[in-house]
Amino acid sequence: MTYQDRAKAYFRQALAAKPADETINLNVLFLYFTWWPTLEEADQKYAAGLYRAMNARDPGFPAKLEDRWTRSYGAPDALRAILAELPANPLF
């Protein structure tokens, strides 16, 4: 098991315990979107579902994620491209 695989397992446990926690969701989604090109389809659908759930809870969440992305990568273009291709049927 790689570190990324372990991280994903721990992230799922953390979100199962606190599904609406903004900080956990922000950190998890930031990393999932950073790993996006290497994620399997099931993980991409999981991340899409998390993103949509947080957006429904807090309409300001996408701006917070974009701000975090911009602080790390300088421009939100890559994140916007990922969000534009989110799978239509997320899995939980």
What DSSP line would sit under 5-46, residue for residue? HHHHHHHHHHHHH-TT-HHHHHHHHHHHHHSGGG--HHHHHH
Looking at residues 52-61, what average pLDDT do you find? 96
Q: What is the pLDDT of residues 65-76, one digit of tens each?
A: 999 999 999 999
Please provide residue 70's backbone torsions phi and psi, each rounded to the nearest 5 degrees.
Answer: -65, -40
Stretch among 40-44, 74-78, 87-91 having the lowest mean pLDDT: 87-91
Domain limits, the chain:
3-84
pLDDT of residue 90: 54
pTM: 0.90
What 3-state class would DSSP assign to 88? Answer: coil
